[in-house]
Amino acid sequence: MDRAAVDPRGQRRRSDLTLQFRITFRIPGARGPSVTQTVDLLAIAAHRDDAELTCGGTLAKAARAGHGVGILDLTQGEAGTRGDAGLRAAEAERAAKVLGVAVRLNAGLPDAHLQNDEPSRARLVELIRATHPRVVILPFPVGRHPDHRIASELGRDACYLAGLAKYGAAGAPHRPFKVLYALAYREDPVKPSFVVDISDTFETKLEAIRCYASQFDGARAAGEIFPTGQNLYELIRVQSAHYGSLIRKAYGEPFFCNETLEVQDVLQLGVQSL
């Protein structure tokens, strides 16, 4: 990420604070690990493996930089064509370890039936308050799979509601500072707001994706993300190289955010123009 494009001072302070005062506690009603800790960066995704595919390199990079990183999968993948929920849970745990992700939670919402309804928002508010992220990565709001679209809207609404003191859910009010949308693999003509250089973590991203053997071994398509029928790992490499080329780096992951990004010093701007 172009350090001049965000507020690195604020991020650094938040990270130090989290590392010093990590808190563990139980999240009532949450499936998966019952004890968690606060994180700096939280990726919220509809299905196990979505986060690895859309922002795995960015998560690994943030973890390597010393930030607390978490993934919140909304469903357990019980409606998937390949594998079952138990197998996908084990795969997800292995992938999280590869990425260096400290916390991986599962909201236990119904796969292929996600809804942005009150019980789902309350569950997410609880988990966002518990993990206390400064930055949240969501799926892009447009997508072929209804779960992806709804996960985006549900995640965004829950981030806002988590900050309301009188919203009826467990935990102290907390509203994430920044919401980013993972843009990888979208066909919409949306120019990324920025691209994260994942050259140093690209192989780690691939290794994490390979943990999902039940989904990808021998597969020639992966739903919305890779519908072309070509070799999946080769496609990931080509697409990541394309986004990397936009910032003159080997590999990159694109993101969109609604706000205008701030620059303090134009002389620190990266990416050569001419």
Interface residues toward Zn ion, by CB under 5 A = 46-47, 50
Smallest distance, Zn ion to C-beta of residue 259, A = 26
Give me the least distance between CB of 39 and Zn ion, in Å please.
21
Nearest approach, Cβ of 217 to Zn ion (angstroms)?
18
By C-alpha distance, which of 171, 119, 114, 118 is closest to 138? Answer: 114
Question: What minimum distance in Å lies between the beta carbon of 184 and Zn ion?
Answer: 12
Give the residue nearest to Zn ion (CB).
47
For the chain, where are the E strands, in sequence order? 25-26, 35-36, 41-45, 69-75, 103-109, 135-139, 178-182, 194-197, 252-256
Residue (47 or 129) nearer to Zn ion, CB: 47
Residue number with CB closer to Zn ion (16 or 84): 84
Please say which residue, 74 or 130, places its beta carbon nearer to Zn ion: 74
Q: How many CB atoms lie within 10 A of CB 218?
A: 7
Query: One-letter amino acid identity for 63?
Result: A
CA distances from 27 to 45, 65, 123, 208 (A): 19, 27, 10, 26
Q: How far is the CB of 47 from Zn ion (least distance, A)?
A: 4
Tell me how far apart the alpha carbons of residues 10 and 144 are, in angstroms, rounded to a whole number.
36
Residues 194, 63: Cα–Cα separation, whole Å: 19
Please state the closest distance from residue 145 (CB atom) to Zn ion, in A: 6
By C-alpha distance, which of 30, 92, 2 is closest to 56?
Answer: 92
User: Which residue number, 50 or 126, has a Cβ lying nearer to Zn ion?
Assistant: 50
Q: How many CB atoms lie within 10 A of CB 156?
A: 18
Which residue number, 15 or 58, has a Cβ lying nearer to Zn ion?
58
Q: How far is the CB of 239 from Zn ion (least distance, A)?
A: 16
Nearer to Zn ion, 44 or 125 (CB): 44
Supply the angle between the helices 85-99 and 50-64 in degrees, to the nearest 10. 30
**Which is closer to Zn ion, CB of 130 or CB of 208?**
208
The DSSP code for 85 is H
